Amino acid sequence: DIQMTQSPSSLSASVGDRVTITCRASQGIRNDLAWYQQKPGKAPKRLIYAASSLQTGVPSRFSGSGSGTEFTLTISSLQPEDFATYYCLQHNSYPRTFGQGTKVEIK
């Protein structure tokens, strides 16, 4: 199975900050990676697919990069509505695997 190691597990940031979250795959997954945002009590929402493609309707302050084993989600200027938990998902092979999640909290 491919392990997805996501870091950090949590972070505190202020509105306007640049935030970076990383996922590392235990083996190469090309660009078969998506990023999700989840708010309490809600279903996940896809932000990024194919590692760097922005989902329709998602603000451009979100961006993704990477290929192979290392991937990054960047929020260029954190907004109040961005405080949530973020997950990566690899869909290169079965079983699909999620990162452990990164909780972004208000500083």
CA 25, 47, 96, 18 dihedral sign is positive
Q: Which is nearer to other proteins, 19 or 97 (CB)?
A: 97
| The three-state (H, E, C) secondary structure of 25-56, written as one string | ECCCCCCCEEEEEECCCCCCEEEEECCCEECC
Q: Return the closest-CA partner of residue 49 out of 32, 61, 62.
A: 32
Q: Is residue 101 a contact partner of residue 7, using CB atoms and an 8 Å limit?
A: no
Instruction: Kindly tell me which residue out of 43, 60, 80, 107 binds other proteins, with binding defined by CB under 8 A.
Output: 43
Q: Cβ of residue 52: shortest distance to other proteins, in angstroms?
A: 16
Size of the site for other proteins (CB under 8 A): 21
Instruction: Kindly tell me which residue out of 21, 32, 33, 36 binds other proteins, with binding defined by CB under 8 A.
Output: 36
Q: Cβ of residue 72: shortest distance to other proteins, in angstroms?
A: 19
Residues within the interface to other proteins (CB under 8 A):
1, 34, 36, 38, 43-46, 49, 55, 87, 89, 91, 94-101
